[in-house]
Structure 1
Amino acid sequence: MRDNSADYRRLFLQALPLMDVRAPIEFAKGAFPGALNYPLMNDGERQKVGTCYKEQGQQAAIELGHRLVCGKLKAARIEAWKAFAEANPDGYLYCFRGGLRSQIVQQWLQDAGVQYPRVIGGYKAMRRFLIDTLDQAVADCPLTLVAGLTGTGKTEVISALDNSLDLEGHAHHRGSSFGRHATPQPGQIDFENRLAIEALRRMEAGCRQLVLEDEGRIVGSCSVPIELFRVMQQAPLVWLEDSFENRVARILGDYVVDMQAEFAVLYPQNPEASFAALSEHLLGSLLRIRKRLGGERHQQLEQLMREALIEQQRSGEVDGHRYWIAALLEQYYDPMYAYQRSGKEQRVVFSGDQAAVVEFLRERAAAD
């Protein structure tokens, strides 16, 4: 595979299968969506070879690698690579720099009768391509941000548009103290890679401007890339509005009903464990903002939440959660957002309900 950006574009636009032959520790630090890890060396073997390289040089390290990965172990790994190649004939393999490790895997596959291409430049070059792609998207495509009070459905607006980037979706976090999901967030590099690939696909589809949710620098444990965040601070805003009742209902769905379903998937045969995990999640989320709430207010909300959880466990009804959700909006989130809007008022170019905002943003994109 030639080492140029057109090749990397095709890899990511077509979501071609990728076999990552780096060590598991490297893969865990950052990978590409859909890539599978079939390492040439495991972490311990890689460490031994690396130490040998530093102390005795490249040739000694190569010889050690061949001694470590030989016989039945080598045969088993070749069989795993063959199975991947046969299941994914349009795929590619790569290592960190597209060098020795991927060459060895490619050669061993060839010796086993399988011709399989590798990515020249490897993970490092593909990662560089994605970083540059996101920077280019930010530079070339004006941004518009969707803002609004908690529970107005900003994520629903983002998902309804063909020219949006879903920061919360890629971060696997709803962007608030209650925003965690039942499963972990991706690592920072994985988050950035997914975001850049979405930007690449938007530009390939002809988008000349991009819409994002108005987020802080941090979405859970993921940080919005610094250049993107810098431009977001100057971008025009559309302000999404909805009734208080609708907002409470939406948050009830997101924070309670959907989370209950997520934990049920994790504990399919154990409803008690599922409910305990939900309770821990909600109470822990409230505890994280205790200092900002103040001790007395936190205590009041916690009591409402515990009563709702008891009712839910006893009868399955979730309506009791509406009381603490409404109080949290009135006493915490709404005053905070009102303060934040006061500093952004000059940037607001449109306000309306969900249908009006989606229509405005689609017309704005079509007019560009």
Structure 2
Amino acid sequence: MNNPNINSDELTALFTADTPLIDVRAPVEFIQGSLPGSVNLPILNDEERALVGATYKQQGSKAAVMLGYKMISGRVKQDRLQQWLDFIRQHPRAVLYCFRGGKRSQITQQWLKDAGIDRPLIIGGYKQARQFLINTIDRFSENHRLLVITGPTGSGKTRLIQQISNNHPALDIEALARHRGSAFGGMPTPQPTQIDFENQLAVSLLKLKQSYLSDPIVVEDESRHTGKVYLPTSFFEHIRSSKIIWVDEPLATRVDNIFEDYILATPIGQALQARRNTQPLSSATEIQAMLCQRAQLLFDKYANALQAISKKLGGVRFQEISQDLENARSSFVNRNEIQSNKIWIEKLVKYYYDPLYLGSLQRRQVNPCFKGSRQAVINYLQTRKNRAIQSE
């Protein structure tokens, strides 16, 4: 079976099809950034790569290649070949790549061919594909429209994005970044590297553009940074220059939304559920004790996040909200009560997030094309879509 190698013109199809990829670079290269859909099955490990690189610098290409063949021979070669074969049996569409589509992926391809398996590689390797993904973001920012969802903290902007995603082109940036975008917004899973975040963003844009062609894509009004990752300049500037839709919800609704996301849907809420109809914490089961320990760690995390914004919050407000947080912790531990968390959440919204967010919108002189509740915004988007369909 002949499998021609993948050139740059075929990368869109490769990524939108979620093609499984075998990255044969060393682990140290992979963890810095990889292509979406990749698994790292290296032909050279970190130590072997370092030795081959040193030999290349000192003695040239021929000596480096000979050393590589010498190290990766016999049982070592068979073990690595078997890993590739096992993966390809589970993922028959798998494609190979190394850094530049050079020796490492070519040798891998040949060894697989000798074993009766013919799989393509990406011409130009990771470097070529990475440039393609960067260019994808830039081209999208120049040529495709956005509708930007804004509104104060707790308005349910992310929920709205998720709610409409089955019927509208929508991009959840916080999901890609694995962070909610605030000092309190870290998620259990670590954030991606900056490179991986950009690569995933590019592939998401490719898929949306393929599915919705010229329809505007709905995104949340994010700041440049979401946790430790940041939006590429072209895309961030595109967000800032796009049409704005304002989600307007009352404070009580916003506090309830935050309470649900940061208390009920976390180990705090899970621990409370596990402890219902049981004896006090001292006699809880092992699972209950584990959940309560995780809940305590989350309270600690929130206390640390509060400390991180203490200067911006101001000394008096910081002390007040810190005490409210500790009171909520005590109520959870001693009385199985979590509603008191709404006290510190409401004050944090009123005294910190609202002035910060609304001040930013005023400086930007935001003029929304629509303003209303979350449900009103959903209705507006559907009406807008229906009109676009009728005009076609």
Does 2:147 align with 1:144? yes
Does 2:226 align with 1:223? no
Structure 2 matches for 1:1-368, cutoff 5 A? 1-159=4-162, 160-161=164-165, 162-208=168-214, 209-260=216-267, 270-365=290-385, 367=387
Displacement of 1:49 in angstroms is 0.6
SS of equivalent to 2:100: coil
The aligned amino acid for 1:249 is D
Aligned length, in residue pairs? 366
Identity of aligned residues (%): 38
- TM-score w.r.t. the length of structure 1 is 0.94
Compared CA separation, residues 280 and 102, structure 1 to 2 (3 A): same
The aligned amino acid for 1:61 is A
Distance in 2 (alpha carbons) for counterparts of 1:295 and 1:181: 28
Distance in 1 (alpha carbons) for counterparts of 2:116 and 2:268: 47
Displacement of 1:346 in angstroms is 4.5
SS of equivalent to 1:205: helix
SS of equivalent to 2:171: coil
Report if the CA contact (8 A) 2:8-2:123 is conserved. no
Distance in 2 (alpha carbons) for counterparts of 1:318 and 1:36: 42
SS of equivalent to 1:22: coil
Aligned-residue CA RMSD in angstroms? Answer: 2.0
Cα deviations by residue, 1:138-186 (Å, 9 ceiling, x for unpaired): 1111222111010000001212142122211100110111111122111
The aligned amino acid for 1:236 is K
SS of equivalent to 2:31: helix
List alignment gaps of at least 5 residues for structure 1. none
Distance in 2 (alpha carbons) for counterparts of 1:73 and 1:276: 47
Displacement of 1:272 in angstroms is 4.1
Report if the CA contact (8 A) 1:293-1:332 is conserved. yes
SS of equivalent to 2:305: helix
The farther-off stretch of 347-356 and 270-279 is: 270-279
Displacement of 1:93 in angstroms is 1.3
Report if the CA contact (8 A) 2:19-2:94 is conserved. yes
Report if the CA contact (8 A) 2:267-2:292 is conserved. no
Report if the CA contact (8 A) 1:168-1:219 is conserved. yes
Distance in 2 (alpha carbons) for counterparts of 1:276 and 1:104: 52
Displacement of 1:315 in angstroms is 3.8
The aligned amino acid for 1:135 is D
The aligned amino acid for 1:348 is P
List alignment gaps of at least 5 residues for structure 2. 272-285
Compared CA separation, residues 80 and 149, structure 1 to 2 (3 A): same
Distance in 2 (alpha carbons) for counterparts of 1:170 and 1:111: 39
State the 4+ residue runs in structure 1 displaced beyond 3 angstroms: 1-6, 261-264, 362-368
- TM-score w.r.t. the length of structure 2 is 0.88
Displacement of 1:363 in angstroms is 3.6
Report if the CA contact (8 A) 1:163-1:207 is conserved. no
SS of equivalent to 2:265: helix
The farther-off stretch of 280-289 and 206-215 is: 206-215
Report if the CA contact (8 A) 1:170-1:195 is conserved. yes
The aligned amino acid for 1:143 is L
SS of equivalent to 2:147: strand
Displacement of 1:273 in angstroms is 3.2
The farther-off stretch of 92-101 and 309-318 is: 309-318
Cα deviations by residue, 1:244-267 (Å, 9 ceiling, x for unpaired): 111111101111222327998xx9
Displacement of 1:365 in angstroms is 4.6
Cα deviations by residue, 1:74-94 (Å, 9 ceiling, x for unpaired): 111111111011111111111
Cα deviations by residue, 1:95-133 (Å, 9 ceiling, x for unpaired): 111111001111112222222222222111211111111
Report if the CA contact (8 A) 1:20-1:27 is conserved. yes
The farther-off stretch of 128-137 and 197-206 is: 128-137
Displacement of 1:223 in angstroms is 0.8
Displacement of 1:192 in angstroms is 0.6
SS of equivalent to 1:347: coil
Displacement of 1:270 in angstroms is 2.3
